[in-house]
Structures are given as C-alpha cells and as structure tokens.
Amino acid sequence: MANHKSALKRVRQSEKRKLYNRYYAKTMRHALRDFRAIDNKEEAQEKLPKMISTIDRLAKRSIIHKNKAANLKSKCMKKVAAMA
C-alpha cells in the first residue's frame, strides 16, 4: 500500500478514472453492437455520424487507441457502403 499522501491520492484518482473509462468504453461497445445490427441503409447512414463522433471522442480522451478508433470507423463506413 502507498505510504505518501500524494501516492494515496494517485490511487484514488486512478480508481475513479478506471471506472469512468470502463463505463464509456462499454457504452461505445454497446452502441457499436446496435449499429452493426442495423439492416436498413437509410437508418445506418443516419446513425453513422453519431457513431463516428462517439468513437472520436473516446480516442481523443485516450479511452481507446487512435488506431483502433480509425479501424472501427473504417469498418462502420464499409458496412454502410456495402448495404444494398
């Protein structure tokens, strides 16, 4: 266990951040799952900007890696483009 005051504060801060990051990453995964389940092209095109915005926000805050964000966005756009 930490002995210094600053180290104890660090432990508290990192625990808070861990919960915050876990919540937002999980929320993004659920949104992605729902997006992938869409079969209608018009609906997918309508929800694509919101999905991309969510992914970008998490990458900006370092909750997910920027390359992972780029890969996810690419897959989403490919899915929408491939719909008939």
Q: What is the pLDDT along the chain (84 residues), one digit of tens a residue?
A: 778 999 999 999 999 999 999 999 999 999 999 999 999 999 999 999 999 999 999 999 999 999 999 999 999 999 999 997
Q: What is the pLDDT of residues 59-81, one digit of tens each?
A: 999 999 999 999 999 999 999 99
Cβ count near 57 (within 10 Å):
14
Whole-angstrom distance, CA of residue 75 vs CA of residue 79: 6
Whole-angstrom distance, CA of residue 51 vs CA of residue 73: 8
Q: Which pTM was predicted?
A: 0.84
Domains of the chain: 5-82 (1.20.58.110)
Contact 2, 10 (CB under 8 A): yes
